[in-house]
Amino acid sequence: MNTVATIYNYDAIISHLAEDIKKSNYKINYFLNLLNLKPSFFYKKLKEKRFTSTEMKLIAKHLYPEEYQEYKDALISRFLARSKEQIAQGEGLDFESILEDSKQKYGIV
């Protein structure tokens, strides 16, 4: 992933955020409640393009649901591929040993 390209892409996204919200199926109140912000503070953040990454993640999840689902699917696929690699390399743990370790850790006989 090219870091500079990511920064420029983010700048383009945040610049079009107000327009994307207006075009969405949601009203502004939905995003106000989602972010737990007062209207004046929300509009100030929108104007100044000052949403935190956590706020942008929440907004994106609802404003761009198809892209969010694609992101989740890709992330899960990467985790599954890594898990398969670990199992193939013998790095996996069997259920019995995990169960025994958990019993000892939590004092269950």
Domain locations in the chain as residue ranges: 3-106
Burial (CB count within 10 angstroms: exposed 0-12, middle 13-18, buried 19+), residue 53: exposed
pTM listed for this prediction: 0.71
* In the chain, beta strands by DSSP E: none
Among the listed residues 59, 62, 63, the one whose alpha carbon sits nearest the alpha carbon of residue 37: 59
Alpha-carbon gap, residue 55 to 36, rounded angstroms: 10
24 three-state secondary structure: coil
Q: Which residues contact 28 (CB under 8 A, 6 or more apart)?
A: 21, 39, 42
pLDDT of 40-82, one tens digit each? 999 999 999 999 999 999 999 999 999 999 999 999 999 999 9
